[in-house]
Structure formats: structure tokens, C-alpha cells
Amino acid sequence: MASQPMSEAALRKEAQKLSELALKTLAAIMEGTGQDGVKLAAAREVLDRAHGKPKPAAKAKPKTAKDPAAGGMTVIVKRFSEVTPQDEAEAEATEAMFR
């Protein structure tokens, strides 16, 4: 006969009983001679539980194009072989604005 699945509350209670052992295990991994990636993962787990997971960064709002004379600047880096005659003309026109 199959056993009944644990309720969420019962599962949480059982997991809480093992938290001290889990923390000690993570500490042992962090202090051990294992791979740095494994140590880092253990450290993150400890920090997440101690201080909460970091909130995702807010998405930056797209910037609108600004007039170069008003203080905005756009820099486009191209290889010399990628520069077209139109690119050269636009660059010269921009440079002329600041002369």
C-alpha cells in the first residue's frame, strides 16, 4: 500500500529539523578544498537564506536620441573595413557641428 504524500506544512516542519545540518554542510563545502564553483554556490545559498535573495535590477528605460550639441553623445565603433562613404560623410558633418 502506497503511503500518503506529506502535506506542505508537514514537509516544511521536517525540512526545518534539518536546517542546522544543511547550514553546517554548506559551511563545510565553503571551507573545503572543492571546486571554486561549488564553494560559490554554497556561499550563495547561505547568503540567500541569511539576507534574502537579491531583487532583480530594474530594467533601464530606453534613452531617446539627443542632439550632440545639447550634451548627448553617441559613439559607434566600426572596423576601418566596415566604414562606408556615407559613414564618412556623417562623421564629417558631426565634426563640423563642433568646429
Residues 6+ apart with CB under 8 A from 69: 97, 98
- As a whole number, the mean pLDDT across the chain is 79
pLDDT confidence of residue 4: 83
Domain annotation covers residue 63: no
The number of distinct structural domains making up the chain is: 2
How confident is the model over 9-41, as pLDDT tens digits?
888 888 889 888 988 998 999 999 988 889 889
Which amino acid makes up residue 6? M
Domain contains 61 = no
Supply the pLDDT for residue 73: 65
> Is the domain of 20 the same as that of 45?
yes
59 found inside a domain? no
Structural domain of residue 16, as residue ranges?
8-51
Between 35 and 94, residue with greater pLDDT: 35
b (16+ CB within 10 A) / e for 61-77: eeeeeeeeeeeeeeeee
Higher local confidence (pLDDT), 71 or 16: 16
In a domain? residue 46: yes
What pTM was estimated for this model as a whole?
Answer: 0.47
Which three cell numbers, joined as nine digits, stand for 13? 516542519
Q: Does residue 58 form part of some domain?
A: no
